[in-house]
Amino acid sequence: MKNLKYLFFGLLFGVLLTKGEVISWFRIQEMFRFQSFHMYGFIGSAVVTGFLGIQAIKWFKWKSADGQRISLLPKELHTGVIIGGTLFGLGWALTGACPGPLYAHLGSGNGTFIVTIISAMLGTFVYGLLRPYLPHGDLMNNQQKEKFYLYSEETNQEVIHEEVRKAS
């Protein structure tokens, strides 16, 4: 089964989230109260290694295990990023958990989180239903977009647009 390796990566991620206390409601409160460096250090150092990893992939032109050229999708900036991001923040502070930790709580024995996961699914579902009526105004001009596009030069811009459209 070719997806089995992702079970292993997920397991590793679940251990890191739990042992790193990132799934702790108390740690999230501590973060939003600026009373410890723990969460800032955790996320900040994750971003640094993620960035270095991506740079290494670009620099050495590494391919994926199945021989594909690595492709990164740019993140589109639209009105929803601001509104949705803020709504997400409200939920993050209340539940003390973002989606990864929501799942981790099932393993850590906090059973009520099954309700929270179902609510989160419902939230996603309601978004899907309301999507045609919600503002998604583009907040970047084309010049800015070019700047944030991440593919290497040989990639066709049309392909990127198509992929971004499918992903969002």
Partner 1 sequence: MLDILREPWPWYIGGPLVGLMVPLLLLAGNKRFGISSTLRQACSAIIPTKAAFFKDYDWKADSWNLMFVAGIVLGALLSTQLLGGGNTPDLSSETIIELSALGITDFSGLVPKEVFNWSNLLTGQGFVFMVLGGFLVGFGARYGGGCTSGHAIMGLSMLQFASLMAVIGFFVGGLFITHFLMPYLF
Distance, in Å, from the CA atom of 41 to the CA atom of 63, rounded to the nearest integer, reads: 30
CB of 4 to partner 1, least distance (A): 7
Q: Which is nearer to partner 1, 89 or 152 (CB)?
A: 89
Residues 61-100 that bind partner 1 (CB under 8 A): 62, 64-66, 68, 70-78, 80-100
CA–CA separation, 123 and 106 (whole Å): 19
> Shortest distance, CB of residue 63 to partner 1, whole angstroms?
8
User: Minimum distance from CB of 152 to partner 1 (Å)?
Assistant: 13
Least spacing, CB of residue 141 vs partner 1, in Å: 12
Taking every pair of C-alpha atoms in the chain, what is the biggest distance, in angstroms?
49
Q: How far apart are CA 91 and CA 36, in angstroms?
A: 21
Binding-site size, partner 1 (CB under 8 A)? 122
Which residues, 6+ apart, have CB-to-CB distance to 135 below 8 Å? 79, 80, 83
Q: Which of 35, 141, 142, 156 binds partner 1 (CB under 8 A)?
A: 35
Q: Which of residues 123-142 bind partner 1 (CB under 8 A)?
A: 123-129, 131, 134, 140
**What angle do helix axes 25-32 and 38-60 make, rounded to 10 degrees?**
90
CA distances for 103 relative to 1, 31, 34, 37, 79, angstroms: 23, 21, 26, 24, 28
Q: Is 160 in the site for partner 1 (CB under 8 A)?
A: no
- The answer to whether residue 159 forms part of the interface with partner 1 (CB under 8 A) is no
Contact between 56 and partner 1 per CB under 8 A? yes
Smallest gap from Cβ 25 to partner 1, in A, equals: 4
